[in-house]
Structure 1
Amino acid sequence: MAMPKALKNVLKFFVFLSIGLLMIWLALKDMTPKDYQDVKTAFLSGNYWLIIPAFIIGIGSHLSRALRWRILIETQGFKPGVLNTFFAVMVGYLVNMGVPRLGEIARCGVLANYEKIPADKLIGTMIAERALDLCCLMLVFLICFLLQIDIVLAFLNAEVWPNMAKMNGSKLLIVLAIALVAIAVLIFLFKRFAASRAAIKLRALLRGVLEGVLSIGKMDKKKLFWFIIHTLCIWAQYLAMLYVGFLCLPATRELGFTAALTVLALGSIAMIVSPGGIGVYPYLVQKTLLLYNIALPIGWAFGWIIWGAQTLLICLLGLMSFIWLPIHNKKA
């Protein structure tokens, strides 16, 4: 018997939340009373007025994301309203706070409901957008590496290579064998049930998704120009938010855009691993700032300040969007 969808989502939430709580425990287990006092001091020394410009920048990044998604949707022959698209994006972010990646489906569902656009078309454009974001994230990692090769190599020598050396050949073969068996099972299942009703629906969905992915290539020069501009604006504003965050604490004010770029890259991974990055984001930020000689307690405090500001903004905009969506469309 298939597991109910609601139960699956609950289980996903607790799995991802457990990962976040594990990261919190790992960060706290070795802290001394002095470390706790240093964290408290760091929080008290913050200039929290800077959260206001960080919020403004954050709203700009979310608006750019909505406008970029709208451009993709227009290539499918639909023209959703700007506000509905923005509200859908923010509702999606809010849902992601509960179960990572479920928010992507939620924002497509919201926009499909209010703009009467086929959901498979929206899912295709959403996947295209996420694929582009993945490419941008890889580019950010590459730029980080090129700008600070010495720091990256020192980190690899100290943390990565020693741990990989502990994994012997038999363990690597087991991991490879499991991956090959999983691929073989998927191929068998696909061939075995190719004529089933579910498989036919899946192929129809995949065709819609493929159209969305290929929609980038259908843009005229003007749309492509604005698509690129909004993509640059999204990542530039993410970077600017972190730089403003550095200015909040005396101990991080001297850090520059290179450090912000590194935190941005690793912080993006944290947002995938646990609901809204809880636990994982501050942990990765803490470890990242060690590369720049920022003490663990300061890095811990900074990570929670940035995570708290981002989460508060998403909660406020997400709830506002959830409430305002039916009101806005009733007027329309």
Structure 2
Amino acid sequence: MPKFLKFICFLAIGLGLVWLVTHNLTDKEKDDIFNSLGRANYWLLIPVIIVGIASHWYRAVRWKLIMQPLGYNPGTLNTFFAVMVGYLANLAVPRLGEVTRCGIVARYEKIPVDKLVGTMIAERAVDMLLLIILMVITVAIQIDVIGGLFLNEIWHPVENKLGAAGSSRSLLLAGIVLGILLLCYIGFRLIARSGIGIKLRALAHGVWDGIRSIGKMEKKGWFIFYSVLIWVMYFAMMYLGFYCMEETRYLGLKAALAVLIIGSVGMIVTPGGTGAYQFLVQRTLMVYGVLDTSAYAFGWIVWSAQTLLVLIVGLASLIALPLMNRTQVQAAKTGTPADAR
């Protein structure tokens, strides 16, 4: 039930953003969006999909590197399938896929789940760090363009909200926050002495071992290389995607970087980025002179290509996992060599 409610909440946010963009459109603007979608060359999305699959493959290879210091070397195919099924789960509930892929590898590779969760957290922390670095670079190299977008769409609305709140409201909010923190502290002390607390501490130790595995890696250079390569491929997907529409073909590398970074925020906010991704991509492209209707159409095209990739490869991975591993088990029993690694 909590997962279902979370899904409904985030999906409502995404659909609300879709409504926010479309509810005031005139008939002509709606026609312009459909005309832009109709004129797009969808064959040019094939390279985008190929690069996307490659980025997910190298994500699986990088994940293996984090597991190796813990004494585990899972099969690359199993790891890749787990990553794709995780992305499939993320279409339903944000972040559910991270737990899902850990469970899959634990099942088929006999690796403790707590340690896998630790490696997943470490991997996501690195991705978040790279995303922040790319955000800073994007703003720094085009402060006149992206800086204005940040001020108008993020900073000024937050500033206005804070300014509208009186001092009494601010004090009340601070009191509520302190009260919640105090209750959390008391609850934590009570739970820590219980049997559940002991189990949670054991789980935390396993997670911490997974996080520390980055520092123990012998192939740190390869880990950094794959981390950068993954984001380079994400960037290539966006840049290649520009060529599928006449209205975006003239855009350069800076625009592709800006759309990638700001669109990535949309993918985090709602299930699969529904609504939020299209909205943020539209706002970003409008800064570069693309008409609002064409910018919105482009957001839907790129989002649809990425979602279709996850649906097809994710479902195929879900089917292939038990089949491939059953073959390995049968081969081991008969002594026939079979290696899916």
TM range (shorter): over 0.9
* From 305, 322, 328, the counterpart of 2:324: 328
CA deviation profile, 1:114-170 (whole Å, cap 9, x unmatched): 000000010000000011111011011111111111113323454445431353253
Per-residue deviation, residues 171-202 of structure 1 (Å, max 9, x unmatched): 54444444333322221211122111221111
1:54 is matched with which residue? 48
Equivalent position of 1:217 in the other structure: 215
Aligned residue for 2:33, secondary structure, equals helix
2:106 to 95, 107, 112: 112
C-alpha change, 1:107 and 1:159, in structure 2 (3 Å) is closer
Structure 1 pair 174–252 and aligned structure 2 pair: CA distance change class (3 A): farther
Alignment of 1:112-151 (within 5 A): 112-151=106-145
Which residue of structure 1 lines up, in the alignment, with residue 337 of structure 2? none
Output the CA distance in 2 between the equivalents of 1:165 and 1:14.
Answer: 29
Q: Which amino acid aligns with 2:200?
A: L
**Partner residue in 1 for 2:199:** 201
1:43 maps to what in 2? 37
Distance 1:263 1:60 in 2: 20
**Offset at 1:301?**
0.3
Q: Secondary structure at the match of 1:100?
A: coil
Partner of 1:4: none
Which is worse superposed, 106-115 or 279-288?
Answer: 279-288
Structure 1 range deviating more: 82-91 or 287-296: 287-296
Is the counterpart of residue 165 in structure 1 residue 163 in structure 2? no
TM-score by length of 2: 0.92
Residue identity matched to 2:322: P
1:232 corresponds to which residue?
228
- Structure 2 CA distance for partners of 1:174 and 1:56, relative to 1, 3 Å: farther
| 2:65 maps to 1:71 | yes
Give SS of 1:251's match: coil
CA distance in 1, matches of 2:316, 2:155: 47
Give 2:284's aligned residue.
Answer: 288
Structure 1: stretches of 5+ with no match in the other structure: 1-6
Is contact 2:17–2:275 with CA below 8 Å preserved after alignment?
yes
In structure 2, C-alpha distance between the alignment counterparts of 1:137 and 1:241, rounded to whole Å: 16
What's the CA shift for 1:266? Answer: 1.6
- Structure 2: gaps spanning 5 or more residues: 329-341
Q: Would the alpha carbon gap of residues 80 and 288 (structure 1) be closer, same or farther in structure 2, given more than 3 Å must change?
A: same
| DSSP 3-state at the match of 1:250 | coil
The question of whether the paired residues in 1 share the 8 Å contact of 2:282 and 2:295 is answered with yes
CA distance in 2, matches of 1:161, 1:317: 38
Seq. identity, %: 48
Deviates more, 1:26-35 or 1:180-189: 180-189
Mapped to 1, the partners of 2:4 and 2:117 lie a distance apart of 23
What is the correspondence of 1:231-310 to structure 2 with a 5 Å cutoff?
Answer: 231-310=227-306
In the TM superposition, residue 326 of structure 1 has moved relative to its aligned partner by 0.6
Aligned residue-pair number: 324
Note if contact 2:146-2:258 (Cα within 8 Å) is conserved in structure 1: no
Structural RMSD (CA): 1.4
AA paired with 1:228? I
Alignment CA distance shift 1:76-1:250 (3 Å) = same
- Secondary structure of residue in 1 paired with 2:192: coil
Give distance in 2, aligned partners of 1:43 and 1:255. 18
254-263 vs 155-164, greater mean Cα deviation: 155-164
